[in-house]
Structure 1
């Protein structure tokens, strides 16, 4: 869906939650191939059995990519992703875990470079099926204003 939401339209506290997505072994293998990260924590089931987690874990970057992808259901023609801050891998994600993403508008502020735009900060929390946080970050959007700031 395409929307036109200006900076002024965003409300701090507004929250949305995605549907779930189960992480599969195929996801992990494909991500390893795409990134070149064949670290044994992700790829070697026998070695992982000797480690504290006892099983393979998904790449943090895979969890991030899938979790953020889950939020991409609406395109705002007045905004563009400006990047991510404070990214943390809080808990491991295992094969067959199902993740969901909650995005909450945490802050709005002026853009120091452009009076015609503002920055909207979305607090992202990705959780597993037990509702335990597995990843947290801030997604920054550069959003057009209806009227330039003074």
Structure 2
């Protein structure tokens, strides 16, 4: 019997593949929970009066680290169950804020895809991940390189 929910294998991620995840709305409870869990008690995240009076950003601001974590969660659900073996590196660029009530999704493009030389039953896949809000604004881009399970050895 086939198991549903298994992620993409290396062979399923050729150069140029594009896809989009489902969306997720960031709530005030998400932000407060993340801040408390991580100890990120910066006034930008904990003091609404500071945001009103001194910040250019209005609304309950989400830490970029939270936005990144949510994006990774959306991707794990869709693409990496049982097939994602390692997160090797990335570059990350924050382009704009996310506040409580924003809904984000991730748009991915495979920009590198090659078989591992050391482990032929694995592939190395780099994607360009653009996190977008409900209005289409890109709020973050990052380019992770991941090791993925392959179906074959060559």
TM beyond 0.5:
yes
Q: Contact (CA 8 Å) 1:12, 1:108: kept in 2 or not?
A: yes
Misfit runs of 4+, over 6 Å: none
1:99-135: CA deviation from partner (whole Å, max 9, x where unpaired): 1111221111343543442211121110111111111
Listed as ranges, the gaps of 5+ residues in structure 2 are none
Aligned to 1:12: 15
Aligned to 1:67: 71
- Which one is further off, 43-52 or 113-122? 113-122
Aligned to 1:87: 92
Whose helix proportion is higher, 1 or 2? 2
Q: Contact (CA 8 Å) 1:127, 1:133: kept in 2 or not?
A: yes
What is the aligned length?
148
Cα distance in 2, alignment partners of residues 27 and 59 from structure 1 = 10
Does the C-alpha gap of structure 1 residues 54 and 14 become closer, same or farther in structure 2, counting only changes over 3 Å? same
- Which one is further off, 126-135 or 2-11? 2-11
The aligned runs of 1:70-149 (5 Å cut-off) are: 70-71=74-75, 72-111=77-116, 113-145=118-150, 146-148=152-154
Cα distance in 2, alignment partners of residues 70 and 135 from structure 1 = 14
Secondary structure (helix, strand or coil) at the match of 1:73 reads helix
CA RMSD of aligned residues (A): 2.1
Cα shift at 1:13: 1.5
Whose strand proportion is higher, 1 or 2? 1
Does the C-alpha gap of structure 1 residues 17 and 45 become closer, same or farther in structure 2, counting only changes over 3 Å? same
